[in-house]
Amino acid sequence: MRYFHNDYNRMCHPAVLEKMTAAFHEAMPGYGMDEHCAAAAQKVKELCGNKDLQVHFLTGGTQANLTVIDAALRPHQGALCAVTGHINVHETGAVEATGHKVIGLPSVDGKVTAAQVEQAAKFHLQDGDREHTVQPKLVYISDSTELGTVYTLQELQALSAVCKKYGYYLFLDGARLGYALASRDNDVTLADIAALCDVFYIGMTKGGAMFGECVVITNPVLAEDFRYLIKQHGGMLAKGWLLGLQMEALLQDDLYFKIARHADELADILRQTLQELGYPLFVEGSTNQVFPVLPVSILPELSKEVTFSPMDRVDEDHQAVRFCTSWANTEEEVQFLCQLLRKLSK
C-alpha cells in the first residue's frame, strides 16, 4: 500500500527522531522554559528577521487556533474567515466553545480577499444597531489553504492593510505553511509573514515533526500573558522541550523547507499526470494537496493499492478526492500512483 490520504500518517522525519534520541538523557525544566525551546525560538526569530516577536510551542492546530483566537478577542468579537476555513468546518466548534462566532465568508479557492474584509467591516460599522451583531475583530486565513492554494505577497499585503485600517488582527494558520512557502506559486517569505501578520504559526505536525505547532506572535498586545491562555486551554506540554527539540531538528539546514519542496514537487508530478489523463482538479493548487475529480468507477481498484481521502461527490459518476504528499513519500510511490491512474483510466 502507498499512503496519500494525508500528510501526517508517519511518525516523523528521521532527523527529528535522531535529535530526540540524542537528547534522551537530558534533564530539563518543564513547560517550555528550556534551552531547546529557546534555541528554536531564536532560530525562528532569525528566519523572521524580528528579534522582538514571541514564540510558543503548542501540540496541535485546533489547540493553536482556539488559544490564539481566545487570547485575541473580547467576548462580543468574532473571527472572519473563508467558509472553508478549518476553524469553521473541522474543529467541532472549538472557537465557538471559547465564546466567539466564526463568520464565514464565501470562497471558492479557500482564500479570503481584502475586499471581503473591507466589505464586512463597512457593513458592521454602517449598522446603526451594530451592538446587536458580532463585532469582527480578527481575520483568520490559512496558507496553504484547506484547498491547497497559496496567498501571494500582494494578497497578504492587502489583507494586512485592511486589517490595520479597521483595527483587526490578521492571523495566519500555517499548519501547512512549509508547503505554501515551497510552492512554485509562492512569492512570500517567512519574514514577509512576520511583518504582515499579527500572529501565525509554523506547522510542525504536517511538516515533519511527531506533533507540534510553532506559534509566532508579532503584535505585543496579543503576546501579553499568552502562556496563561496556553495553560488554561490544556496546551502546555509538561515536557515542553520535546517541541523545542523537534523544531531545532526541522530548522537545521533548512530541513523544514526541503521537506515541503520535496512534497510539492511530488504533487506536481501527480498533477501533470492528472492533466494528461484529462481529470479536472476540484481546485487548482500548487502545494502538497491535490484534489482531482475522478470517475467513481475506478475508486474501488484505486483504493486497493493507494490511500486517499474522499471529498465531495460531484455528480453521480464523479467524486472529488484528495491525495496528499509529504516527506514520507518517495518519487517511486508517486510514479506508482500515476501509473495506476493511467492503467485504470484506459
Under the criterion CB under 8 A, does residue 135 sit at the interface with a second copy?
yes
Helix or strand or coil: residue 105?
Answer: strand
Strand partners for 173: 142
As a whole number of angstroms, the distance between CA 195 and CA 59 comes to 24
Which residues 167-206 are close enough to bind a second copy by CB under 8 A? 205-206
x/- map, 18-47, a second copy, by CB under 8 A: --xx-xxxxxxxxx----------------
Tell me which of 225, 315, 316, 332 binds a second copy, using CB under 8 A. 225
Residues 194/48, Cβ–Cβ less than 8 Å: yes
Of the pair 205, 325, the CB lying nearest a second copy is at 205
**Among residue numbers 259 through 278, which ones bind a second copy (CB under 8 A)?**
none
Ranges within 60-79 binding a second copy (CB under 8 A): 60-67, 70-71, 74-76, 78
Among 231, 272, 275, 305, binds a second copy (CB under 8 A): 231
Q: Please give the residues from 79 up to 108 whose contact with a second copy meets the rule CB under 8 A.
A: 89-94, 96-102
The Cα 137–Cα 333 span in angstroms is 45
CB of 132 to a second copy, least distance (A): 5
Write out the three cell numbers for 151.
496567498
221, 196 contact by CB (below 8 A): no
The total of other beta-carbon atoms located within 10 Å of residue 155's CB is 17
Residues 293-312 that bind a second copy (CB under 8 A): none
Q: Which is nearer to a second copy, 52 or 225 (CB)?
A: 225
- Whose Cβ is closer to a second copy: residue 59's or residue 160's? 59
Grid cell locating 116 = 471581503
Distance CA 278, CA 318 (A): 13
